[in-house]
Amino acid sequence: MNWYRIKTALIGLKRLAALSEDDKQACIDAYKFFQRMQDGEQTATEDETKAVADYYKVLNNLLSVFDLEKLYIPPQLDESQGLYGNQLLCERAVLEELDLQHPKASHLLDMGCGRGRVSHHFATLTGGQVSGYNIDPNQIENAIDWAAECGMSDRLHFKVGNHHEPLEYDSETFDGCFSFQAVWPFFKKEELDAHAAEMYRVLRPGARYACSEYLLTPHFDWNNAEHVSLHKAFLPTLAATQSMYPADVSAALERAGFNVLLSAPSKSAAWPICEQKRDLILGGRKVIRALEAVRILPSWVEESLDLLQSGGQAWTDAEKAKIADLNWRIVAERPLV
Ligand SMILES: C[S@@+](CC[C@H](N)C(=O)[O-])C[C@H]1O[C@@H](n2cnc3c(N)ncnc32)[C@H](O)[C@@H]1O
């Protein structure tokens, strides 16, 4: 483990220990809200968005302790690499799909940018600019700090923003936009058009959208009790609120004016990496329990790790059954005219 990882884990523990009672309660309430959603409660999007923000405020610090600073699980493209190495490979592949003509002069948009580490990687690869927005101010604060620490504040621009509202960027600003497990899991079907239209508006003609996103596969059947039961178990663990089919997203992108160039399953499975993380978290629980015993961490942290683990197993089962995909690939282009 290198110094960066140790430092990140320690900062994560410190931030967890410093959470206010309100933040902790809001996180617990959010998890219960997700579970009620899975039990069939009808919920309004604004309440879902609030729950997501409350939940991620805690989760981003918790998972950073376990080397999950970019909050997404990539496909295992190279068995010899761990989570981080495979994230880098996945990001390179998405960047290639954007087919940038002038990388150094490019300005990209990272939708649901988390702690900005993917944006940082893209800006490093292109030499250009990346803007990112996210619903959770806590993650945005971390992203801004990291850009400053790297001396890249002039090329990395982060702000709080919500997919469900008009994007706060001028029309035709970006040479490409992208997302990593951060956009479609938070949309109801009837809301897809509004966001697709916003993506179209902020992209320059000829620019592309590319992603690695959680979507159901066409094999998922809402009338199959086993599928529905796995979905109920894994969705709160993904901290997602909705599950779309690729065809629904592609149709919305096409209605917005995009040409959809690709809609395809991930190149390889994510479950081996999910299982590695599950084992790491299992090992880490001894440390968490010790910290709880001396009251550095509150007892609910271990409880939430329990829930993460059982949902993780459901995810593995679902992915092996090919009914859901964490890294479905979509590439869409705004036509030149
Ligand atoms: C699975 S994480 C992926 C994060 C990021 N792409 C990364 O790689 O670290 C999902 C992200 O979507 C963000 N998010 C969820 N709902 C959102 C919304 N309505 N608007 C903006 N961001 C949102 C969450 O705060 C979280 O950072």
Atom of ligand 1 nearest to the CA of 239: 1
Task: Give this prediction's pTM.
Answer: 0.92
Tens-level pLDDT at each residue, the chain (337 residues): 577 778 888 888 787 777 888 888 888 888 888 878 878 899 999 999 999 999 888 878 877 877 778 889 999 999 999 889 999 999 999 999 999 999 999 999 999 999 999 999 999 999 999 999 999 998 999 999 999 999 999 999 999 999 999 999 999 999 999 999 999 999 999 999 999 999 999 999 999 999 999 999 999 999 999 999 999 888 887 888 999 999 999 999 999 999 999 999 999 999 999 888 777 666 666 666 666 666 655 666 666 667 677 788 888 999 999 999 999 999 999 999 7
The b-or-e profile of 184-208 (16+ CB within 10 A means b, else e) is: bbbbeeebbeebbebbbbbbeeebb
Q: How far is the CA of 149 from the centre of ligand 1 (A)?
A: 22
Of 56, 90, 122, 165, the one to substitute when testing ligand 1's pocket (max ligand atoms within 8 A of C-beta) is: 56
Q: How far is the CA of 114 from the centre of ligand 1 (A)?
A: 5
Domains of the chain by start residue, with CATH:
1-337 (3.40.50.150)
Q: Which residues have CB under 6 Å of ligand 1?
A: 49, 52, 56, 70-72, 112-115, 118, 134-136, 139, 161-164, 180-182, 186
User: Hey, whose CA ends up nearest to atom 13 of ligand 1?
Assistant: 112
**β-strand pairing of 259-264 with 324-333:** antiparallel
Dist. CA 235–CA 16, nearest whole Å: 23
Atom of ligand 1 nearest to the CA of 183: 12
Q: Where are the alpha helices (DSSP H) in 155-270?
A: 192-202, 225-238, 246-256
Element holding 213 (H helix, E strand) = strand 203-216
Q: How far is the CA of 295 from the centre of ligand 1 (A)?
A: 30
Of 134, 141, 198, the one to substitute when testing ligand 1's pocket (max ligand atoms within 8 A of C-beta) is: 134
